[in-house]
Amino acid sequence: MAKIEVKNLKKKYGDNLVLDNIDITFDENKIYGLLGRNGAGKTTLLNIMTNRIFQDDGTVEVDGENIRENDNALEKIYFMTEKNLFPEGYKVKDIFKWTAEFYSKFNMEYALELSKKFKLDISKKIKSLSTGYSSIAKIITAMSSQADIIIYDEPVLGLDANHRELFYKELMKDYIENPKTVILSTHIIEEVSGLLENVVILNDKKIVSTDEAEELLNKVYTVSGLSQNVDKYIEAKEIVNIETLSNFKSVTVLGEINSIDRINAERLGLEFSKVELQKLFIYLTNKGEEQGE
């Protein structure tokens, strides 16, 4: 069991500031979603957290130990990258053996079991695998590492719907049986929303949300009904999104529903509904642009 603490982290590429004073703690035994638009700095943050590149300022600690060139801290983390960094001439089974040399808790039996479930031919060389099966080989290696912290960067790249569903199922099964810290960085937000306990949203070089998933979703809701009645209800409220069809309107509102809201909605014949995580993410990462920032 381990946790990662990122403190006052800054990173520039030349004159381009990518991460600005990032402070975030990934607590032990939780599943996190790390969300952000393309270019938001997610992969840069993950690379710094795993000592693959160095920050300009700030620290990253695992269980209170600085990760900088610290094998004791780094062996607690397995990072499945979006890019394939395995030697292309290696067979899949050789990758398993090679990884087991660096991760003492690597479970070979589990790796072989998962290979059968995903129908991965472990005698094939990495370079001969399709994009989907290359991702599967990386997923299985990551899960079998049994590291205290496992980070997945776009893990389902190239996977079909069946394989994606199998991955999510196995991820949750392993998490329940062997609790650990899991960080999922993905653009397929709705598919993973049911797995996430906490959501970290990175936007415009900064962390804009670190809430529990349920708590975050409780901060916004949708109200729908006849357009004229919806317009009466939303007066003086902060609006996230408006969708109109004929004389029907659906409006997403920022805020929590209180007793007065319920009375007003009932009087106007309106209905409440929850907002999907992906829609909320779009709002939070578009907000600055819409305000002209």
Angle at which helices 131-145 and 161-177 cross, to 10°: 0
What is the Cα–Cα distance from 45 to 51, expressed in whole angstroms? 10
Dist CA 150 CA 182 (whole Å): 5
Contacts (Cβ under 8 Å, ≥6 apart) of 62: 2, 3, 4, 5, 70, 73, 74, 76, 77, 149
Spatial separation of the C-alpha atoms in residues 215 and 199, rounded to whole Å? 10
pTM: 0.86
Structure tokens at 57: 């300022």
Cα dihedral 61, 64, 68, 73, rounded to 10, equals -100
47 near 204, Cβ under 8 Å? no
Cβ-contact 265, 272 below 8 angstroms? yes
Burial of 133 (0-12, 13-18, 19+ CB in 10 A): buried
**Alpha-carbon span 149 to 31, nearest angstrom:** 10
Q: List the beta bridge partners of residue 239.
A: 253
Six-digit token string for 60: 């990253």
- Report helix angle 108-117 to 161-177, nearest 10: 150
Phi, psi (deg, nearest 5) at residue 163: -70, -35
The stretches of the chain forming alpha helices (DSSP H) are 42-49, 71-74, 92-100, 108-117, 131-145, 161-177, 189-192, 213-217, 227-233, 259-268, 277-290
CA–CA distance, 201 with 42 (Å, rounded to integer): 9
Residue 191, CA distances (Å) to 166, 171, 226, 261, 292 in order: 12, 13, 31, 31, 31
What pLDDT shows up at residue 293? 41
Each of the 293 residues of the chain gets a pLDDT tens digit; together they read: 689 999 999 999 988 999 999 999 999 999 999 998 888 889 999 999 999 999 999 999 999 999 888 888 889 999 999 888 888 899 999 999 999 999 999 999 999 999 999 999 999 999 999 999 999 999 999 999 999 999 999 999 899 999 999 999 999 999 999 999 999 998 888 889 889 999 999 888 888 877 788 888 888 899 999 999 999 999 989 888 889 999 999 999 988 899 999 999 999 999 999 888 888 888 777 764 544 44
Instruction: Give the per-residue pLDDT at 83.
Output: 83
- What is the rounded CA–CA span in Å between residue 200 and residue 208? 8
40 Cβ contact partners less than 8 Å away, ≥ 6 residues apart: 202, 203, 204, 285
Domains within the chain, CATH numbers bracketed: 4-215 (3.40.50.300), 218-290 (3.30.70.2020)
Look at residue 96 and give its three-state secondary structure: helix
